[in-house]
Amino acid sequence: MINLTVNEQPVTVPEGTTILQAVRAAGVELPTLCYHEGLAPYGACRLCMVTITAPHHGLVASCAYPAEEGLMVETHSPEAVSARRLALEFLLSRCPQSEVIRELAAQEGVTASRFGTPPPERAEELCVLCGLCVRVCREAIGAAAIGFIGRGMERRVGTPFEVQSEACIGCGACAEICPTNAIKIEDRGNERILHTWHTTVELHSCPECGRYFAPEPTGFLKDMFPEIENLWALCPECRRQRTARQWIEQEHTRAT
Amino acid sequence: MKVRSRSDLETLRAEGLSTLYPSRLKISVGMATCGLATGAAAVYDALRDEAARRDLDLMLVATGCLGYCQQEPLVEVRRPGRDPVLYARVTADRARELIAALAEGELPTEGALAIIPEEKPPAGSKPAGGLPRLNDLPFYSRQHKIVLRHCGLIDPASVAEYVAQGGYEALAHALLDLTPEQVIDEVLRAGLRGRGGAGFPTGRKWQICQAVPIQPKYVICNGDEGDPGAYMDRTVLESDPHSVIEGLIIAGYAIGAHQGYIYVRDEYPLAVERVTQAVARAEELGLLGENILGSGFDFNITIVRGAGAFVCGEETALISSIEGGLGEPRPKPPFPAVSGLWGKPTVINNVKTLATVPVIITRGADWYASIGTEQNAGTVVFSLVGKVANTGLVEVPLGLTLRDLIEGIGGGGLNGKAVKAVQTGGPSGGCLPARLFDLPISYETLTQAGSIMGSGGMVVMDEDTCMVDVARYFIGFTMAESCGKCAPCREGTQYMHQILTRITAGEGSVEDLELLEEVALWVKKASLCGLGQTAPNPVLSTLRYFRDEYEAHVKEKRCPAGVCRALIRLSILSELCNGCGLCRRECPAGAISGEKKQPHTINPELCTRCRICYDVCPVGAVEIVR
C-alpha cells in the first residue's frame, strides 16, 4: 500500500494507483474529460492538473501520474486552479455549443471565454479531442476502426481516408463513451448509420419478432463465446417474453 | 575480411592510413549536404574530368563537412610531404584551374583559406607559403572538436579511415577490458549530459536502465533533428557515421541491450544513405552481429526513417513511431529507461551524445571532465546561423560565453551591423539580448535566462530583426508541429499565434500583451511533453527582454526594426535618388515610377512593403518609414 497526502489529508491506496484515483479516494472532486477507469491513462485534456509539493515540486496531470509514497498533493493550488480554468476557457472557445463543456466550465467558475469563437465551418463542433472513442475502440473493443487524423488544430477523429470503415463492428462504444455527445449514431430499418464515421453496418433481426437489435458484424462474438449464443438468438424483448412464459409454464405445471 | 580481434583492427588501421595519407596527390571535396547545396557535386565532377583529361594521377575523395559551411564548397589539396591546403568557395571553373595548375606542379594561392597540418605529418613536411593554419583562423581557434573530430577529415564511407583515426578502439576497450558497470562509471564520471538538449546525465540514464531486471532492452539513437537552422546531427551522421554506431554499440553493452535503432528523419536523405552504408559495412566486418571482436557480445542495429513530424524528436513519441503508432508523446513516468520501446527498458541518446561516448572510453573520464566546467563538462556543438559574419557548425567547451561564440568565432554581426539578440536551442529556445552575452554557456545559465540549450541552434539577430515578428515566426512553427494531443499545446500555440499576428498587423492592444503572457505561462506549465513545455520560450523571453518593441507595436503602432509590413511605409529620398531605375524594374507590384536619371517615387496604394527596393537600391535612397 502507498501512503500519500491529498490536500493535507492522509490517503492510503494500493500499488498501481494514479494520483487521480487517490484524490477521488480522498473524496475530493476533480473534473476530467479524457480519463476513463477502463482505459490506459492518456493525459490530454489537462483538467485534472494538481500540484505536487513534496518530495519535488511540479504541476502534473493526476490521471497519468502514479501515486508514490510520501507524495504531497494539492488539488486546488492557485496554479492548478488557473491551469484548469484556462483549459476550460479554451474548450469553451472551441465548443461553445456543448452543454457538457458549458456546465463543466461553470462548475469551475468559467462562464465566458476570452479566446473567441470557432470559425464558421466548425461552429457546431462538439469534439474536444479527448480521444476516448479512439482508445475504447482500440483498447477495449479491439477494432481500431477510428484514429486521429492531422495534427495541431487540424487534428480530428475519423476512419482511414474518412470513408466506410471495414473494421467498424457498429458496437457504438465510441458514442457511448463520448463525454460531449459528439458522435452521431442512428438505427434506421435494417441499418445502423454511424454518421460521424461515414459508416453503415447491417443490423441482425430477431427471428421471432423481426425487430433489428444487434449489429451483424458483432456475430463473431457468439462463436468466440458460446455461452452468449442465446443473447444473439433473440432480441431482448422476445427473450424477456420467452423467459416469462417459461416461468408461467413452470408455475402452472407445479400447481397442477 | 572480418574484424575479430584487436590485431584485425590494426590491419584495418593500416589500410586507412594508406588512403588518409597516400603517397600521391589527393584532393578531398566536402560533400555533406551543406557542400552539395553550394555546388560541391559539380566541383567534384570538374576535378575528376579535368584530371582525367590532363592525365593527372589523382586520388579524389568525397569527405564530410568541416563546419565552415559559409565557405563551402571546401576543397582540400594534399600533396605528399606537404601540408594540405584548403580552398574555399570553389566553383567548377576554379576546380579546373586548380587541376591545370597542379598538372604544372604549381599550387595556386587564390582562394586558399588555410593549411591543415596533419596530426601525424609525414616527415619533412613544409608549411605552404604564408597561409594560416586552419586552427588559427578566428572561426576555429576557440573550438574544441570532440563530436566533430573526424567530420570533413575522413571519407565517411571508409571504415578503415575511421579506424585509422582511432575508431573502434573504444569499442574494443569496452568489450574486452571493461565490465558494463565500468563503462557506465566512466561515462558517469566524465559528466557527460544528454546533448539532445535536456542535459540529463547520460551515465545516470544508463545506470537506471541497466538496473531494471527485464529483458530484452533496447538502445535508440535519436537523429530526428527537426529544428529550423540546426543541422549538427545531420552533419555527424553524414560525415562520421561510424562514431555514432560505435557509441551505440557501447551503450548497448553498458545497459545489456542487443538491439539498437538509429532513428533518422527522412528529410536527411544523405544521412540516411551514409548511415545505412556504414551499418552494412560494420555488419560485413563483424563489428555488428554476433560475438563482436570475440567478446561474446552480440549487437544489431536497425535504421528507422522518421516520417517528418517534429514531435518525434520527443522520446516517447519517437518510441511510438518506431512501434508503428502515431508519433505522439505519452505522459512520463514511466520513463523509457524503465518502460520504453515495446514496454521494455530503453535508453534513448542523441547523435552527439553517442558520438562523444567512444572518446570518453578511449581518453578517460578525467580527461573529458577537465573540459568545460564542473557541472557542464565537455563540449557542445552549435549551428551558428542568422545575421552573423561567420556561419557554420562550431564545437566549443561549455562555459564559453555567448560573446566569445558570437563575436569571437562568429566575427560579430553580418555586414558590421550590431547584433541585438541570439536565440539558442531551436524554435523553442528563448531570445537573449546582447547585454547578456557575457553569460557562460551551460544548461543552467541558459534555462535561468529564459532559454534552453536545446538542440544547439544559435540564431543571431541584428537591429533589422523585429522581435515580435521572430516570436510569431517560431510560435507558427511549433503550432504547425504540435501533435494536437494535449489541449494547452494545441489550443495555446494557436491562440498565441493569433495574438502575435494581430500585434504585428498593428491591431494589438495592451491587454493582448497580458493575455499573451498568461497563455504562454499556461502552455509552458500544463503541456504534456517537451514540445509544448518549451514552445512559449520565444514569446516569454521576448516579452521579458524586448517588451519595448511589443509596446511600440501596440501603443504607437510602430515596428522599431522596420519589419512588420502593416506598420512601415517605404519612400524614396529624392535628394539621394539618381534615377537608375533598378528599384522600378525589381518592384514586383509595379509601384515605383520615375523618368531615367530623375528621382523616382513609390505609390503607397500599390506598394506591398516587400522591401525589395530597399535591398536593391545602390545609393541607399529608399527609406523605411517606421
How close is the nearest chain B Cα to the Cα of A65, in Å? 7
Q: What is the mean pLDDT of residues A191-199?
A: 97
Q: What is the mean pLDDT of residues B278-300?
A: 97
pLDDT at B378: 97
Which three cell numbers mark B323?
512501434
Angstrom distance (rounded) from CA A47 to CA B463: 42
Do A152 and B486 lie within an 8 Å CB cutoff? no
pLDDT tier, B117 (very low <50, low <70, confident <90, very high otherwise): confident
Q: What is the mean pLDDT of residues B35-55?
A: 96
pLDDT at B119: 59
Q: At what angle do helices B232-239 and B241-255 cross, to 10 degrees?
A: 100
Are the C-beta atoms of B392 and B139 separated by less than 8 Å? yes
Q: B291 CB contacts (<8 Å, ≥6 apart)?
A: B297, B298
Q: How far, in whole angstroms, is CA A110 from its chain's centroid?
A: 23
Q: How do the residues of chain A divide into helix, strand and coil, expressed in percent and rounded to 5? A: 40, 20, 40
Q: How many C-beta neighbours within 10 Å does residue B462 have? A: 20
Are the C-beta atoms of B234 and B333 separated by less than 8 Å? no
Between strands B379-386 and B457-462, the pairing is: parallel
Do A83 and B526 lie within an 8 Å CB cutoff? yes
Q: Which residue has the cell 587541376?
A: B99
How close is the nearest chain B Cα to the Cα of A36, in Å? 16
Angstrom distance (rounded) from CA B41 to CA B49: 12
User: For B428-453, what is each residue's pLDDT tens digit?
Assistant: 999 999 999 999 999 999 999 999 99
Which of B480, B487, B498 lies at the smallest CB-CB distance from A44? Answer: B487
Which of B326, B482, B526 lies at the smallest CB-CB distance from A148? Answer: B326
Give the CA-trace dihedral at B511, A90, A92, A62, to 10 degrees.
Answer: -130
pLDDT tier, A231 (very low <50, low <70, confident <90, very high otherwise): confident
A253 CB-contact burial (10 Å; exposed 0-12 / middle 13-18 / buried 19+) = exposed
Which of B481, B493, B525 lies at the smallest CB-CB distance from A83? Answer: B525
pLDDT at B129: 64
Least confident window among B49-63, B106-120, B213-227: B106-120
User: For B491-515, what is each residue's pLDDT tens digit?
Assistant: 999 999 999 999 999 999 999 999 9
Which three cell numbers mark B583?
528599384
Residues of B in contact with A64 (CB under 8 A): 330-331
CB pairs under 8 A between A and B: 93
Long-range contacts of A181-185 (CB under 8 A, 24+ apart): A181/A100, A181/A126, A182/A98, A182/A125, A182/A126, A182/A127, A182/A128, A183/A133
pLDDT at A1: 93
HSE, CB side, 13 Å, CA atoms: give it for residue A180.
Answer: 27
Q: B484 CB contacts (<8 Å, ≥6 apart)?
A: A129, A148, A150, A151, A152, A153, A154, A155, B490
Are the C-beta atoms of B243 and B167 separated by less than 8 Å? yes
Q: B444 CB contacts (<8 Å, ≥6 apart)?
A: B375, B376
Q: B282 CB contacts (<8 Å, ≥6 apart)?
A: B159, B242, B245, B288, B301
The verdict on domain A1-120 having CATH code 1.10.3210.10 is no
Among B55, B253, B281, CA closest to B171: B253
Residue B123 confidence (pLDDT) above 70 = no
pLDDT at B126: 53
What one-character DSSP code corresponds to residue A109? Answer: T
H or E element in which residue B103 lies:
helix B92-103
Q: Say whether the peptide bond before residue B334 is cis (omega within 30 degrees of 0).
A: yes
Q: A106 CB contacts (<8 Å, ≥6 apart)?
A: none
Do A44 and B486 lie within an 8 Å CB cutoff? yes
What one-character DSSP code corresponds to residue B95? Answer: H
Are the C-beta atoms of A123 and A99 separated by less than 8 Å? no
pLDDT tier, B124 (very low <50, low <70, confident <90, very high otherwise): low
Whether the CB of A87 is below 8 Å from some CB of chain B: the reply is: yes
Nearest CA in chain B to A150: B483
pLDDT at B247: 98
What is the DSSP track for B447-505? HHTT---TT-EEEEEETT--HHHHHHHHHHHHHHH--S-SHIIIIIHHHHHHHHHHHHT
Whether the CB of A82 is below 8 Å from some CB of chain B: the reply is: yes
HSE, CB side, 13 Å, CA atoms: give it for residue B153.
Answer: 19
Angstrom distance (rounded) from CA B154 to CA B399: 29
What is the DSSP track for B21-54? S-SS-EEEEE-SHHHHHTTHHHHHHHHHHHHHHT
Q: How far, in whole angstroms, is CA A49 from its chain's centroid?
A: 19
pLDDT at B513: 97
Q: Is the dihedral of CA A239, A240, A241, A243 positive or negative?
A: positive
Residue B541 confidence (pLDDT) above 90 = yes
User: For B164-211, what is each residue's pLDDT tens digit?
Assistant: 999 999 999 999 999 999 999 999 999 999 999 889 999 999 999 999
Least confident window among A91-95, A208-212, B117-121: B117-121
Q: How many C-beta neighbours within 10 Å does residue B280 have? A: 12
Q: What is the mean pLDDT of residues A114-133?
A: 93
The structural domains of chain B, ordered by start, are 16-137 (3.40.30.10), 159-368 (3.40.50.11540), 379-462 (3.10.20.600), 467-555 (1.20.1440.230), 568-625 (3.30.70.20)
User: For B310-355, what is each residue's pLDDT tens digit?
Assistant: 999 999 999 999 999 999 999 999 999 999 999 999 999 999 999 9
Angstrom distance (rounded) from CA B451 to CA B424: 7
Q: What is the mean pLDDT of residues B588-597?
A: 94
Angstrom distance (rounded) from CA B430 to CA B539: 8
Do A148 and B515 lie within an 8 Å CB cutoff? no
How close is the nearest chain A Cα to the Cα of B481, in Å? 7
Do A86 and B495 lie within an 8 Å CB cutoff? no
Which three cell numbers mark B375?
557541472
Between strands A72-74 and A2-6, the pairing is: parallel
Angstrom distance (rounded) from CA B162 to CA B150: 8
Q: Which of A45, A90, A95, A129 has the highest number of chain B CBs within 10 A, making it the mutation to test binding with B? A: A90
Among B393, B406, B415, CA closest to B433: B406
B106 CB-contact burial (10 Å; exposed 0-12 / middle 13-18 / buried 19+) = exposed
Residue B122 confidence (pLDDT) above 70 = no
Do A151 and B483 lie within an 8 Å CB cutoff? yes
| A158, β-bridge pairs | A147
Do A86 and B483 lie within an 8 Å CB cutoff? no
Nearest CA in chain A to B515: A114
Q: Where are the domains of chain A?
A: 1-120, 132-239
Alpha carbon distance, N-terminus to C-terminus of chain B: 69
Which three cell numbers mark A167?
473494421
Are the C-beta atoms of A195 and A185 separated by less than 8 Å? yes
Are the C-beta atoms of B401 and B439 separated by less than 8 Å? yes
Nearest CA in chain A to B328: A151
Q: Say whether the peptide bond before residue A236 is cis (omega within 30 degrees of 0).
A: no
Which three cell numbers mark B585?
524594374
**Percent of chain B surpassing pLDDT 70:** 98
Residue A51 confidence (pLDDT) above 90 = yes
Q: How many C-beta neighbours within 10 Å does residue A219 have? A: 12
Rounded to 5 degrees, φ, ψ at B395 are -120, 120
User: For A69-98, what is each residue's pLDDT tens digit?
Assistant: 999 999 999 999 999 999 999 999 999 999
Q: Which residues of B touch A (CB under 8 A)?
A: 309, 311, 326, 328, 330-331, 333-334, 479-488, 490-495, 498, 515, 518-519, 522, 525-528
B377 CB-contact burial (10 Å; exposed 0-12 / middle 13-18 / buried 19+) = buried
In this prediction, the answer to ipTM > 0.85 reads yes
pLDDT tier, B127 (very low <50, low <70, confident <90, very high otherwise): low
Alpha carbon distance, N-terminus to C-terminus of chain A: 60
Are the C-beta atoms of B361 and B186 separated by less than 8 Å? yes
Q: What is the mean pLDDT of residues B463-474?
A: 96
Do A115 and B491 lie within an 8 Å CB cutoff? yes
Residue A255 confidence (pLDDT) above 80 = no
